[in-house]
Every structure is written in structure tokens, then in C-alpha cells.
Amino acid sequence: MKNEIRLYGPIGGWGITAEEILDQIPEGAKEITVRIHSPGGSVGEGIAIYHALRDNAAKVTTIVDGYAASSASFVMLAGDERKVHRNSIVFVHNPWTTAEGNASELRKIADGLDVHAQAILDIYKTHTGMDEGELRDMMDETAFFRGVDAVENGFATGVIDDAEAEAQVAAMLKFESMAAQSKEIEGMSKQKTRKEIEQELESVQSDLGAEIEAKAGEIEALRAEHEEALKAKADEAEAIKAELDEVKGLVAGFEAKIAEVEAAHAELAEQHDTLKAEAEAQGAELAKAQAALKNPAVADAVLEDAQEAAKVQIDAAADDAELQAAQAAIENEPKDELEAYERMEAGAERIKFWNENKRKILALIEKRAEGEK
């Protein structure tokens, strides 16, 4: 046959690709014959081969020499004529895959399989003329068609009647030979439908639920086992809290004492400043008095005051009873204003006393000074 292309082996992956098929088609070819013996393979690569053949201007004839299984079953439908031998086998089913992941990821994978299944179903429906529901049931159940059955179901347009070719095809249909070409043939009986994936998903969820319950039981057992220890730790923590509260109380007491000491210190500092001011004032007055005594006029005034005081003392001496009382009082009371002034403690009262009696006090100071000479 002219322009004969062989699709013998798996489709996609390490097998036959759409590019390899296109490379075998001569430019300007009027007729193409594609001989198929394939266990199938990648859905995407199969669809690419299907469209590459359908879009070619040449008349395309597909011949199933042995197997047109899985994705090879819709590649064969690209032919304008689709021929099978009596012992050829066409095998249709839903796309399947192997996967792992969580529940959400597995649901996405199942949805993706549904999209692939619909794409395949559309090709089947276009060329076979079968009802979509009937085709879907066929794919769900997985269907094998021998040559005549493939024609009756619309997958093939005719059967090749050649005894020698039939014998050759029968030899090629041994499963051992197909397994040698691709490991996929071994998994054809293990294809997974959406329903099977959902069942597996339910099983996984059930197993996870059981595992979670088991873990929850273990956690509860551990909690019960260590409950006493946890209580002891809680009591210990409570005791520590009580100790901290006590320490806080002590700190508050210390802070109060410190405040008292600081207040007392401030008061003492104030008293010191007051006493210092009084001493400075008295020193200034004393210096002023000493300077005044050097003035004759001031001295005369002081002398007059002294004479007046002497007269008072003479008059008081006339009365013995009063004198005795005065003497007794003198023994307990200051002898004069100077002694009274000297006995008084520093303060406002002493300053007031000085202001009221300073002339007498100055005179007594002068008198005392004369006596000491």
C-alpha cells in the first residue's frame, strides 16, 4: 500500500507520538493507510494523532491489524475508511489513572477524568452514530469488540476477508506479546472508573475517620494518665502566684517606707533651712547691736534702760515678801531677758522675743561684757 504508516505500540510517553505520525506522511500525499496494533496509552497524545489525521487532506484508511485498545480505539476512528480483520479486537473504556492525595485533590482528579471521558465519548458518538447514553454505559462497563462486532457497533466500516492475514492477526492477539510491548496491557483489566475512584475515596475517608478516632482515644488516655500531674502543676503554679502576691505586698510596704523616709528627709531639710535663716538673722542683729554700742547716743540709751531696770529692782526689794518671791522666781526663772533669750529654742517665738526686748538684751550684753573685763 502507498504511504503506509504503522502505529504498532503504546501511544505517548515512551511510545508513538503525534509528531512521529506526521513525520511519516509524505507532503502532498493523496492517500494514507495507518495500520494499528496498540494497547493504547495517553489520552492527550491519542487525541492529537486523531486530529492530525482528520485534518490531513489525504484520504485516510485505518486498519486494525491486532488491537485498537483504549486510546487507539478513537485513533482508528480518524479513518475515512476503518477496516478490521475478523480476529481484530477493539477495546473501549473510561479513562483511568493512579493518584494519591487528600480528599480535595482526589475529587479534582476524578473531575478531570470526567472531562477526558466526555472528549472520548464525543469522538465515539461522531463516528459510530450510537446514542450517548448507550456509549456511556459501554465505557462504564468496558467493552471488547471482535471484527464483525466493531462493524455492527459503528467503530469499523468493513471487515477484511483474508485467511492468511487473519492467521497473522490471531497470532498478534496473544496477551503475552502485548505485555512485552507495553506494561499498560497488564493494567487493562484494572482500569478505574469514576465510581471506583469515589468508592476508594470513601474508603480513604473512612480509614482516616477511624484513624482520627483512634488518635483521639490515645490522646484521651494520655490526658487521663497525666491528669494528676497536671493538677499538681496547677497547684504549684497557684502557690507560686501566692508567693508573688506576697512579694508584691512587701515591695509595696518598702515603697511606702521609702516615701516616709523621703518625706522626713524633706522636712528635716526644711527645718535646717529655717534654723540657718534664723541664725543668720540673729548674727546680723548681733553685729548691728555691737556696732550700735560704739555710738555714745546709743550707749546713753542703753544706760538709761539699765538705770530704769535698777530702779525697778530697788523698788521691788522694799517688799521682803515680794523680794523672797522674786528671788524664788529668779532661781527658777531666767534672771533677765538675756538669759531668757538664751534659754529659748530657735524659732519664731525666739525671734518675736528678740524684737520685743532687744534694747534690754543689748544692754545686758554690754553689762556682761563690762563685767568680764
Phi and psi (nearest 5°) for 26?
A: -65, 145
The three-class DSSP label of residue 262 is helix
What are the C-alpha distances in Å from 145 to residues 98, 154, 156, 170?
Answer: 26, 11, 10, 14
Block residue for cell numbers 525671734: 351
Block residue for cell numbers 518675736: 352
- Check: CB of residue 120 under 8 Å from CB of residue 74: yes
Find residue 232's DSSP bridge partners.
none
The three-class DSSP label of residue 154 is coil
Catalytic residue annotation: 70, 93
Find residue 319's DSSP bridge partners.
none
Angle between helices 43-55 and 103-128 (to 10 degrees): 30
**Using CA atoms, how far apart are residues 310 and 333, in angstroms rounded to an integer?**
18
Question: 331: which 3 cell numbers?
Answer: 532661781
- Reported as half-sphere exposure (CB side, CA atoms, 13 A), residue 373 has a value of 6
Question: 373: which 3 cell numbers?
Answer: 573685763
**Using CA atoms, how far apart are residues 164 and 372, in angstroms rounded to an integer?**
169
Contacts of 346 by beta carbon, 8 Å cutoff, 6+ apart: 275, 278, 279
Characterize the bridge pairing of strands 81-85 and 89-92: unpaired
